[in-house]
Each structure stands twice: as C-alpha cells, then as structure tokens.
A and B are shown apart, each in its own frame.
Chain A
Amino acid sequence: MNNLQWLETRVDKLRAVLQNGFPPLEKEGQGGFAGGCFRQVWAANTSPSIPLFLRGMSNVGRESTVSRPASCLGLCFILVLALPANVLAHSAGGEALGFFSGLAHPISGLDHVLAMVAVGLWGAQLGAPALWILPVTFPMVMAFGGMLGLMGVQLPGIEVCIALSAVALGLMVLREAQPNLLAAAFLVGFFAIFHGHAHGTELPQGANGMLYSIGFVIATGTLHAAGIAIGLVHRWPAGRLALRAAGALVSIAGVVFLWRAIA
C-alpha cells in the first residue's frame, strides 16, 4: 500500500466514523492509540478528564487494570510534563523561585523547625495572650535579625545561639514555665534575632528577594501555628504530659545541635 492509498483508507474510515460512530472492537487493543483515545472521547461525548489521565499514569507498564486509552493518555501526559520548558512568567524574573525558596527555607533545618514549633507549644501552655503574642513576636524580631544580616551587621555565635534556642525553649515547655509575658516575649525575641540573621541573607541566585521574604515569614508563622495546634492537647492531663515530653525531646535535640556547633 503506497502513501496515497493509505491516506485514502484513513479518510474513508474517518468519514464512516463521522457518519455511523465507532464500530465495536473485535479484540482488545484494536484501533491503535489514537483510535482508542478518540473512542474514549466519543463514548463519553466529552474530553478526557484529569482523573482519567491520572488513572492512566498510575497504570503505565502494568497489565490492563484500566482501559488502554486511559493508559495512553497518561503516558502522553507524562511526556508533556517531562518536556523541559524555559518558562519566563514575568519580566522581573525569579518570583516563583523566590517565594518557594523562602517558604522552604525555615523547614530546611531541623534546629529551626524545632525552635519554632517549641514557641507555639510554649504559647499554648501559657494560654492567651501569650498564645498569640509569642508567635507574633518571633517573626517580627526574626525579620529584624534578617534585616541586620542584609545590612551587613555581624552577630557572634549564631549557630550556638540557634542551638541554645532549642535547648531553652524545650526546657520552658518541659517545665511548663510561667514567666511574666514580657520575659517570655524577650526570651523568644532574643533567639529570633539569630534565626533571622542566619537565614535572612540566604537568597538563591536569581530569586526575588521580596517574595523570598514573604514566603519565609509565612513558613515561620505556619510552624508556630503547627506548634499551637499540637499544644492544644494541653487541656487534657495526658496531653500535658505529652507536651512536656515533646519539650524534653526538643531540648535534647538542642543539646545535640549545640554539641555540633561547638565541636
């Protein structure tokens, strides 16, 4: 069959399908990829949906637990996703990189995560108004520390102080310490400066600094919120015990970080 005959055959088939619809398949897989896909669309009288794509994706390379067209569409979807595209979505550049880098930064180090969650836990133990004053104090003073870092102001013993923050805040949770509000805010704020200074200046190359900052603050606040949410178990006796145990763990981890920072 030469090319012209092949084309004529295809046109005839297409015309027949447009007039009469798809004929029933005699065996599995008949009709090829395109025929299967179009049959799926034709049968549903709509376009293939995302769940169909995903079902197809999840079964690529397996025996036919889903229909062949779904697998084909899933494979097609993977191929499209795998294509490298240089997408410049904004003339300023680096927006998405900046925001997501900032969002990921506070959770990239366990020492930061533990200290920030401990702030939330302690706030939950202390109750209102410390419940929200401590998590408000931390991001604001942390941002001040970041600003100092950006301006080139050097602080001594940053890593040591970050490790000490986990030790101290963990101890506060362990002991269910109840200092006055100002002292608690001062303690949290003091350590926040070092956290901010350590991370505030680490902007990835080409990223938008402003959106990095916004992402950073949101992630920090969310970690505090997670701590507060966990700390709500404080209302039950068993929960109170669990919180104190969590404080002990944070403190022990802080000692490990301190050992690493000094050694």
Chain B
Amino acid sequence: MSFRPVLLLLVVLAFPGRAEAHLINTGFGPFYDGLMHLFVTPEDLLQVIALALLAGLRGPVVGRTVLFALPASWLFGSIAGLLLAAQLALPAASAVMAIVLGALVAADKRLRFDIIISITIAAGFVNGALNGMELARTGSGTLFVLGVATSVFVALALLAGQTASLRAMWARTTARVAGSWIAASGLFMLGWALRAT
C-alpha cells in the first residue's frame, strides 16, 4: 500500500479554501497594526513619499527637520482626530495634497525653508486628523497612531536620506519624474473622489 493517496489527501485537506487575511490586523496588537497602516494605505503613502523626495532634494538640513516635523504633526493630528471623533470625510483632500506635493517635486521648486516646513506640518496634521477620526469610529487607540507615526518616521528617514545623497543629475531627475507620477496619480485620485461624490 502506498502513502501517495493519503499524503495527497492531507495536502488537499490542509489547504484553506478561504483565507481572510486582513493585512492591517497583524495580530501583534494596535502598535504593529499602526505600523502596517501606512504601507497598505496608498493615499497616505504617496504623500509621505512626495514629502520625502521634496525634503531630500532640498538637502540634509531640510530633510532632518522634515524627518521630525512630519511624524510629530501626524501624531498630533491623529490625537486631535481621535479626541474630536467627528464624522468628517474629505476624500479629495489626499488627492489634492498628492497633486500639490508631486508637482512641487517634479518642478524641483527651490522653496524657502519655512514654506516647506509649513507644508509638511499642514500635510501631516490633516492626514493625521483624518486617520484619527476614522480610528475613533473603529475604536482604535493611541498605540495605533503611535505606530502610524513611527512608520512615517521610518519611511521618511529611509527615502529622504537616500534622496539627499543623490548628486548625479540623472538621479535627481529620476526623483523629479517620480514626483510627476505622484501628481498624476493624485489627479486620477481626485477624479475618483469627485466621481464618488
């Protein structure tokens, strides 16, 4: 008697017919769920990438400031959103910010330091507040928003650091092209948002 049919049957039985693997729910608790949140939320991730490129293209000093300004403003915005717990949905806000930030990267506009920081804080606060309001509805706590802010910090540090180190013209041009792609994606996102409303 061969084991072959038995083993094949075991393989078939062991394979799940239906797997509901919710990516945001990591199973490690709210902090880790928050860490993953950014990477499964493209509308937020696009803005973080755009801000990292914008800050990195302006050099290490701006990059270092944005590195702390964005996660901090995101965190404060999230806490404000959690406390407010308002039923506010701005589907076009993320799209407009992606367009503006992407266009600034593509244009390689030499903005003043205070303007870049103001844009960063505004983007962080608005996104954080929208996250917080959404989280208030689902009952997630402050550990979740701490996780989100941490992932924003890590993503920003990695990307802005790499961008700041770019010296070759073609490499900087590649970063600008990436900015134009973000702006283009933002335009499409705006179309979807306007269509939904």
Interface residues of A (CB under 8 A from B): 6, 32-35, 37, 72, 76, 79-80, 83, 85-91, 95, 132, 135-136, 139-140, 142-144, 146-152, 200, 209-214, 216-218, 221
User: A214 near B185 (CB under 8 angstroms)?
Assistant: yes
List 18 interface pairs A-B (beta carbons < 8 Å), by A numbering: A34-B2, A90-B23, A91-B22, A132-B176, A143-B185, A146-B191, A147-B187, A150-B188, A150-B194, A152-B195, A209-B192, A210-B42, A210-B43, A213-B185, A214-B185, A216-B188, A221-B177, A221-B181
Instruction: List residues 1-17 of chain B with CB under 8 A from any CB of chain A.
Output: 1-4, 6-8, 11-12, 15-17
In the complex, whether B183 has a CB less than 8 A from a CB of chain A is: yes
Contact of A34 (CB < 8 Å), options: B7, B19, B42? B7
Instruction: List residues 155-197 of chain B with CB under 8 A from any CB of chain A.
Output: 173, 176-177, 180-181, 183-192, 194-195
Q: Give the tally of cross-chain contacts (CB within 8 A).
A: 125
Instruction: List residues 60-109 of chain B with CB under 8 A from any CB of chain A.
Output: 106
Whether A80 touches B19, Cβ cut-off 8 Å, given contacts A140-B180, A143-B185, A214-B42, is: no
**List of B residues within 8 angstroms of A6 by Cβ:** 1
**Cα separation A147 to B194 with both chains bound (whole Å):** 9
Whether A83 touches B21, Cβ cut-off 8 Å, given contacts A132-B173, A140-B180, A143-B187, is: no
User: B21 near A140 (CB under 8 angstroms)?
Assistant: no
**List of A residues within 8 angstroms of B17 by Cβ:** 83, 85-86
Contact of B187 (CB < 8 Å), options: A35, A80, A90, A140? A140
User: A149 near B191 (CB under 8 angstroms)?
Assistant: yes
Contact of A76 (CB < 8 Å), options: B8, B23, B176? B8
Q: Which B-chain residue is minimally distant from A216 (CB atoms)?
A: B188
Whether A132 touches B195, Cβ cut-off 8 Å, given contacts A146-B187, A217-B184, is: no
User: B15 near A83 (CB under 8 angstroms)?
Assistant: yes
Query: How many B residues, CB 8 Å from partner?
Result: 41
Interface of A is mostly: helix
The smallest beta-carbon distance between A79 and chain B, in angstroms, is 7
Interface residues of B (CB under 8 A from A): 1-4, 6-8, 11-12, 15-24, 40, 42-43, 46, 106, 173, 176-177, 180-181, 183-192, 194-195
Most B CB atoms within 10 A — which of A89, A147, A211?
A147
**Cα separation A149 to B187 with both chains bound (whole Å):** 12
**List of A residues within 8 angstroms of B187 by Cβ:** 140, 143-144, 146-147
User: A34 near B4 (CB under 8 angstroms)?
Assistant: yes
Whether A147 touches B188, Cβ cut-off 8 Å, given contacts A87-B21, A88-B20, is: yes
**Cα separation A95 to B45 with both chains bound (whole Å):** 15
User: A89 near B21 (CB under 8 angstroms)?
Assistant: yes
**List of A residues within 8 angstroms of B181 by Cβ:** 139, 217-218, 221
**List of B residues within 8 angstroms of A76 by Cβ:** 7-8, 11
**List of B residues within 8 angstroms of A89 by Cβ:** 19, 21, 23
User: A83 near B191 (CB under 8 angstroms)?
Assistant: no
Most B CB atoms within 10 A — which of A72, A87, A211?
A87
**Cα separation A32 to B190 with both chains bound (whole Å):** 61
Contact of B40 (CB < 8 Å), options: A90, A135, A136? A90
Whether A147 touches B177, Cβ cut-off 8 Å, given contacts A32-B4, A88-B19, A90-B22, is: no
Most A CB atoms within 10 A — which of B8, B22, B106, B191?
B191
Whether A136 touches B176, Cβ cut-off 8 Å, given contacts A32-B3, A151-B194, is: yes
Contact of A86 (CB < 8 Å), options: B8, B18, B186? B18
Given A147-B191, A221-B181, 5 further pairs, Cβ under 8 A: A91-B22, A151-B195, A152-B195, A200-B188, A209-B189
**Cα separation A142 to B180 with both chains bound (whole Å):** 11
